[in-house]
Structure 1
Amino acid sequence: MLTGLTIVFIGGDARQIEIINKCTELDATVKVVGFDQLEPPLFGVSHEKLSPGLLVEADVIVFPVVGCDDQGKVSAPFAKEEIVINREVFSAIREGTAVYTGMAKSLLKRMAAEFSFKLIELLERDDVAIYNSIPTAEGALMMAIQHTDITIHGSTCMVLGLGRTGFTLAQTLQGLGAKVKAGVRREDQAARAIQMGWKPFVATDSAAYTGEIDLIFNTIPTMIVTAQIISKLPRSVVIIDLASAPGGTDFRFAEKRGIKALLAPGLPGIVAPKTAGIIMANTICQSISKEFHLRGDEM
């Protein structure tokens, strides 16, 4: 139970609703900013305006999956007005307060260092990232089906990066009968690809991007699908870039060549917000319980 704790939610999409509901069920005092347009309305919470006074009372603060941009703007699709958090508001967060987000951009990291609150990036955790890789893979398949005129079965698919998302995606494609090529950057990843029955290649080797390729799925968050690589691709290929914005594809050159390239970050919140929200809710609530259990009487 989270009885006696004040948890403040600042913005967020449908995933955040699942976390709010879970915290309410566990008897926390929940205050929300940016949900005044939600239908049906949230139950058992108080709707607030963002202010230093609100945050100084918070035991825990929860930001959206992408906390805020480097101008302080917070994603809040259910808000009447734009939410922007500034330095004065950040300064009100008490030292040591647990502040949760999915992944933090530079402003949020700087504010955490300056004002000594405890920033917790959930997508850095293996368990959350692995769970999230499932709706990401499903969403990527949905996009592939929508934007091609062939079946996944029998197609030749490249998956760039064998991290948590890339591995799940490659397995899913293989299960549907695709021929999977894995773009790797390390020898251990090449070994894993061979063990799984995928054909490994060096992801930066432009010579590997010739011949029959139907779909490319990129998970590497740096420029990897360069103009040099795109110049060698068949025009019929579809590129689906799953890396966080701005992705790892030269979208300008792809368009110039007439190749369809789609940036698709944040798929869990688009294709399966309830599932993605439950994943985040369980993790946050377990983390909060552990945090305050360890701190004991400091509550």
Structure 2
Amino acid sequence: MKQKFLILGGDLRSIKLAEMLITDNNKVFAYGLEKSEDIQENSQIDKISNLQSAIEKVDIIIGPTPFSNNGETINSPYAKEEIKIEQLVKANKQKILISGGIKESIKEQLEEKFLKVIDVMKREELAILNTIATAEGTIKLAIENTDKILQGSKVLILGFGRVAKIVASKFSLLSTKVTCAARKISDLAWIEAYGYNSININDILYELKDFDIIINTVPQIIIKEKELKHMKPDALLIDLASKPGGIEGTKAIQMGLKYIWALAIPRKGCTNIICRIYKRGYI
């Protein structure tokens, strides 16, 4: 047997990773995955009900990506109860913790307690693969939540960072009409260099009525009630940004708009690929 791993919380990627580690003859424990049928039905994975006990049994703890959505609890959608970050900080350990998207302030706390803390999203290849999965998941959401084909649809993407670049590329390959909005002059120049339409985020108000799909990647509220009033009644709004997001979602829903806050959406079909790369990085 190679090593002992604790899979702590997480989504489909964590579940698939647990199965891959088992296949490689590692010992795997799970905590915070009580609602996962795949985990519960796998007799080779030890399900632990006490976090301290789980940590004591292993060499390496693998947390979710992102590690936390709110800075207080560990990202664990399959857990029966919330797992507070302070529980992990207080646990007795000299272990290796591997997770992704850990805020620097939280990482500093963890580094005081753990032997080593590794943020996998600091690795460029993992961040890129995660972004590809996010882009494909966004396309899936767009197909499922619109009444017309994507070809010819007008798509507005807010921001032009890593996620926005890949999302724009994938949507343009589907013959949609892509416009990207940014503030920096250099970003606007790059948007045009890639062949997309460009617009300054500060000038989007009276342009919003033209778009069928609006995708936000900026973790700062940009789309408020004033902007929402200028949108098509059947427009689809997808927010990919971490908290607080970039769209006033509650207001959008109240106004009858179709709004999706799509946190952590790697498509199922991409999960195997990402986990192989994750596993390679871990071991």
Give me the TM-score of the superposition, normalised by structure 2: 0.83
Note if contact 2:221-2:244 (Cα within 8 Å) is conserved in structure 1.
no
The 1:163/1:125 distance shift into structure 2, 3 A limit, reads: farther
1:280 and 2:275 are equivalent in the alignment = yes
Question: Which residue matches 2:141?
Answer: 143
Question: Which residue matches 1:179?
Answer: 177
Note if contact 1:18-1:281 (Cα within 8 Å) is conserved in structure 2.
no
Instruction: Name the amino acid aligned to 1:90.
Output: V
1:198 and 2:192 are equivalent in the alignment = no
Question: Which residue matches 1:90?
Answer: 89
Note if contact 2:33-2:76 (Cα within 8 Å) is conserved in structure 1.
no
Note if contact 1:128-1:280 (Cα within 8 Å) is conserved in structure 2.
no
The 1:108/1:9 distance shift into structure 2, 3 A limit, reads: farther
Query: C-alpha displacement at 1:43, in angstroms?
Result: 4.8
Question: Which residue matches 1:46?
Answer: 46
1:75 and 2:50 are equivalent in the alignment = no
Question: Which residue matches 1:6?
Answer: 4
Note if contact 2:153-2:177 (Cα within 8 Å) is conserved in structure 1.
yes
Which protein is bigger by CA-based radius of gyration?
1
Query: C-alpha displacement at 1:28, in angstroms?
Result: 2.6
Note if contact 2:31-2:51 (Cα within 8 Å) is conserved in structure 1.
no
CA distance in 2, matches of 1:138, 1:74: 22
Query: C-alpha displacement at 1:83, in angstroms?
Result: 5.3
CA distance in 1, matches of 2:14, 2:274: 11
Note if contact 1:55-1:89 (Cα within 8 Å) is conserved in structure 2.
no
Q: Which of 218, 231, 245 does residue 220 from structure 1 map onto?
A: 218
1:15 and 2:13 are equivalent in the alignment = yes
CA distance in 2, matches of 1:196, 1:87: 44
Instruction: Name the amino acid aligned to 1:119.
Output: V
1:154 and 2:152 are equivalent in the alignment = yes
Query: C-alpha displacement at 1:194, in angstroms?
Result: 1.1
Question: Which residue matches 1:60?
Answer: 60
CA distance in 2, matches of 1:212, 1:51: 51
The 1:192/1:106 distance shift into structure 2, 3 A limit, reads: closer
Note if contact 1:221-1:247 (Cα within 8 Å) is conserved in structure 2.
yes
After superposing the two structures, state which structure 1 stretch, 24-33 or 173-182, moved more: 24-33
Query: C-alpha displacement at 1:244, in angstroms?
Result: 2.3
Helix, strand or coil at the partner of 1:170: helix
Note if contact 1:71-1:107 (Cα within 8 Å) is conserved in structure 2.
no
After superposing the two structures, state which structure 1 stretch, 54-63 or 85-94, moved more: 85-94
Between the two proteins, what is the percent identity of the paired residues? 24
Note if contact 1:17-1:277 (Cα within 8 Å) is conserved in structure 2.
no
Query: C-alpha displacement at 1:217, in angstroms?
Result: 0.9
CA distance in 2, matches of 1:12, 1:198: 35
Note if contact 1:183-1:201 (Cα within 8 Å) is conserved in structure 2.
yes
Query: C-alpha displacement at 1:73, in angstroms?
Result: 5.4
Instruction: Name the amino acid aligned to 2:219.
Output: P
> What is the number of residues matched between the two proteins?
280
Give a deviation string over 1:265-298, Cα, whole Å, max 9, x none.
Answer: 2111xx31x5225413422x32333xxxxxxxxx
The 1:257/1:4 distance shift into structure 2, 3 A limit, reads: closer
Helix, strand or coil at the partner of 1:46: strand
Note if contact 2:222-2:247 (Cα within 8 Å) is conserved in structure 1.
yes
Question: Which residue matches 2:116?
Answer: 118
Give me the TM-score of the superposition, normalised by structure 1: 0.79
Query: C-alpha displacement at 1:218, in angstroms?
Result: 0.8
The 1:178/1:115 distance shift into structure 2, 3 A limit, reads: same
Instruction: Name the amino acid aligned to 2:113.
Output: F
Helix, strand or coil at the partner of 1:129: helix
Give a deviation string over 1:3-47, Cα, whole Å, max 9, x none.
Answer: 542211123333212211222233333222245663472253333
- Residue segments in structure 2 that go unaligned for 5+ positions in a row: none
CA distance in 2, matches of 1:153, 1:76: 34
CA distance in 2, matches of 1:99, 1:194: 42
Helix, strand or coil at the partner of 1:100: strand
1:260 and 2:255 are equivalent in the alignment = no
After superposing the two structures, state which structure 1 stretch, 218-227 or 206-215, moved more: 206-215
CA distance in 1, matches of 2:131, 2:74: 27
Note if contact 1:159-1:183 (Cα within 8 Å) is conserved in structure 2.
yes
The 1:105/1:82 distance shift into structure 2, 3 A limit, reads: farther
- Residue segments in structure 1 that go unaligned for 5+ positions in a row: 290-299
